[in-house]
Amino acid sequence: MPAPDTSRPAADADLASIQQARALARKARQAQTTLAELSQVQIDAIVDAMAKGVRPHVEELARLAVEETTFGVVADKVEKNLFSCDRVYEFIRPMATVGVVNRLPDRKIIEIAEPFGVVAAIVPSTNPTSTAIYKILIALKARCAIVISPHPSAARCITRVAEIMEAAARQAGAPDGSINWMTGVTLEGTQELMKQREVAVILATGGMGLVRAAYSAGKPAYGVGPGNAPCYVESSADVRKAASDILIGKCFDNGVLCSSPNSVVVDAAIAEAAMREFQAHGAYFLSPTETEALARVLVTPQRLPNPVLVGKTAAVVAEKAGFNVPPGTRALIAPLAGVGRDYPLSIEKLCPVLSYYVVKDWREGCARCIEILRYGGMGHTMSIHSQNDDIILEFGLRKPAFRICVNTPTTHGSIGLTTGLDPAMTLGCGGWGGNITSDNISPRHLLNIKRLAYEVRPAVDNRAAASVPVQPGAAARGLRGPARPRPDPVSADVLARRIDAFLAARGIAPGRTSDRPVGPAAPGPVHSEGDRRDLAAGDQRDRGPATGTGAQPPSSQVNTGGSGPTAVAAEAAVAEFVCEDDVRAAVKAGTRIRLGPKTIVTPAAREAGETHRIFDEPPWHA
C-alpha cells in the first residue's frame, strides 16, 4: 500500500496563494484606474480618514503583534504604531501628489505628478503593524492601489491593520480594491504577486532573500535588508548620554528594528568610564566563556540570528545560552577582538545583545566601524557620539552608511523620530546596500514626475542658410534674415595670405591675377559664343601683379564697397574671388557677377548670390 501523500496540502496552499495573488493584483489594477483620477482634496480626505481610523487601535494592534509573533515589547510597538499614524501622517499630509506639484519659473518648468501604479508591499514580522500602517498611508497618498503580502507569522495582525484602514478609506471615497491583502501567504504566492504584470512597483522590507527576490521580479523595487549599525563613542563625547542613547536604541522593542545598535566602538581614553556608564544603565558585560556560549545559541551556521531568540529580552537570551544575569539587566555586551566569521556576535543580532570594541583613536574607530558595516550593514545606519564637529564630519565623509545619527539612538534617529530625517519605516541603503535609493521612503518614491519644459534658448539651425527666408527689405539694407553668429574679424593681410595659400594649393600662383579687373560683371547673362570664348580665354591669360584678395581697380573703375578690394569693370570681367560682401555690393549696385571655371566663391557668397540670381556662369560650369 503506497504511503500517504503528505505534500499535497502544502502544494494546494501554494496554488491557492498564487491564485489569490493574481486575483488581488487584477482587482488593484481596476481600482488604480479610478484612484489615479481623484483630486488632491479627495486623496487627502482618504488619507485623513485612514490615519484617524487606525489611531484608536494602536494598542490593540501592538498586543496582537506580540501575541502572534512573540517578538518585542507591547509599549514599544504602541509607540511605533503611533509614529506611523501620527508622525508619518503629519509629514505626508501637506505633500502635493496630484496634478501640478512644482513650478520652476527660472527654468520655465512645470512638474506634474503621476502615480506609479499598483504597489506590492511585503511586510515583515519584526515590525508588522507599524510597517503596514505606514505603507498603506504612503501608497494611497500617492494615488497607488496596494496589495499587501504579510509575513506568514504575522498575517493576523497585519490583516487587522488592513481591514481597519480599508474600511476607513472606502467610507472616505476610495474605490473598491484600493487596499488588498493576501490571507493565504506562501513564498510562492508572494513571488507570484511581485511578478504580476498589474504590479508596477515593489516595497519589500525583510531579509536579504526576500529583497533579492523583489529585485529579480523584473519590476522597479525598493528593497531594504538587514542593518548592522555600529555606534562610535569618541573621547569628547558625553559618555553618560552616549551609553543611555545606545541602550535605549538597543532595547527598544527588544532590538528588532533593522537600524537598532549592534556594536559599540569606544576610544581607549574613555573605555573605563564608558563601561561604568553602560553598567549603570543596565548592561551586563559577558566573560569570554559566556560570549562563546551565547554565540553558539544566538548565531546559526548560516551566520543569521536564531529566530527563536529574535525580539526576546536579555534575560531570556542569557538563559537560553546557559547563564544567568542580574535582575534588571537590559542588554548583554560581548567584548570582541575582531569582525567576521571568526567572531559570530559581530553580525546583526535582532535582540538586546551588543558587541563591544575598544580602539586607540577616531581613525582606528573609523576603520572598525567600516568593518562592521561591511559585515552585513552596508549603506544602512550608524551613530557617532562626539562633541568634536570636525571628527563628526570626517565620519560623515568616510562611512559607507547613509544615515549617520549624531548624539542620538540609531533606532529613533534613523526613522526620523528624534532627527529631522523623513519619517519612514522603510530605509533605503543605496548602492552600498544594493538598493535603488538611499532615502527614507515616502510618497515621493511612488510618484513619477512628468515635466512641461518651455524653450529658454532658441535652437540653432546648422543646415544650409539657403533654407532661411530673407527678411523683407533685407536686400536693400545688405542684410539676411535672422541674425546669425559671426566669426571673429580677420585682418585684410591675414585674409590675403590665406587666399594665396588656397590658390597655390590648387596650382594657381599666388600674387598674380587676371589682367581683367576683379569685381561684379555688367548686368545681363552671357548670350553669345564670343562671350563664352572671352571667358575661357580670360581664364588662360597671364595674371598681372595683385595684392590682397584681387587686383586693385584702375581709376576708371567704380568701387563697390565690398570687404575686399573688389570693383565693377566698364566691361564684363571674370571674378577670381567672390565673398559675401561682394554679393551685397552687387545687389546694392544692381550689377551682376561673372564667374569663371576657377572663380573661388565662399559658401556664404554662393548662397547669397544664388538667392538674388546675380551670378553669370558658363554653361559647363553651371
Is residue 276 over pLDDT 60?
A: yes
Q: Give yes or no for a contact between 406 and 258, defined as CB atoms under 8 angstroms apart.
A: no
State the Cα–Cα distance between residues 35 and 38, nearest whole angstrom. 6
Output the nine-digit C-alpha cell for 250: 538597543
- Secondary structure class of 77 (helix, strand, coil): helix
Rounded to the nearest angstrom, the gap between the alpha carbon of residue 172 and the centroid of all alpha carbons in its chain is 34
> What domains appear along the chain, each with residue ranges and CATH number?
12-225+446-452 (3.40.605.10), 229-421 (3.40.309.10), 465-480+487-616 (no CATH)
Residue 489: what pLDDT? 63
Is residue 27 over pLDDT 60?
A: yes
Query: For residues 463 and 107, which has the higher predicted lDDT (pLDDT)?
Result: 107
Query: Which of 3-17, 369-383, 532-546 is least confident?
Result: 532-546
Residue 83: what pLDDT? 97
Q: What is the mean pLDDT of the chain?
A: 85
Could you give the C-alpha distances from 189 to 104, 216, 415, in angstroms and in order? 44, 15, 30
Predicted confidence (pLDDT) per residue in 433-486, tens digit? 888 899 999 999 999 999 999 999 999 988 765 555 555 554 444 444 455 555
Residue 206: what pLDDT? 76
Active site residue 258: yes
Residue 463: what pLDDT? 79
Residue with cell 534674415: 481
Q: Give yes or no for a contact between 522 and 591, defined as CB atoms under 8 angstroms apart.
A: yes
Could you give the C-alpha distances from 321 to 230, 289, 293, in angstroms and in order? 24, 11, 6
Query: Which of 181-190, 206-215, 496-505 is least confident?
Result: 496-505
Is residue 364 over pLDDT 90?
A: yes
Residue 483: what pLDDT? 52
Residue 42: what pLDDT? 98
Catalytic residue chosen out of the listed positions 85, 157, 231, 258:
258
Residue 577: what pLDDT? 84
φ/ψ of residue 511, rounded to 5: 90, -5
Is residue 563 over pLDDT 60?
A: no
State the Cα–Cα distance between residues 465 and 606, nearest whole angstrom. 11
Residue 320: what pLDDT? 96
Task: Give mean pLDDT, residues 420-427.
Answer: 96
Q: Give yes or no for a contact between 199 and 221, defined as CB atoms under 8 angstroms apart.
A: no
Task: Give mean pLDDT, residues 121-132.
Answer: 95
Is residue 74 over pLDDT 60?
A: yes
- The residue type found at 465 is A
Residue 513: what pLDDT? 41
φ/ψ of residue 31, rounded to 5: -70, -30
Torsion of CA 469, 472, 476, 482, to 10 degrees: -50
Q: Give yes or no for a contact between 284 and 331, defined as CB atoms under 8 angstroms apart.
A: yes
State the Cα–Cα distance between residues 273 and 277, nearest whole angstrom. 6
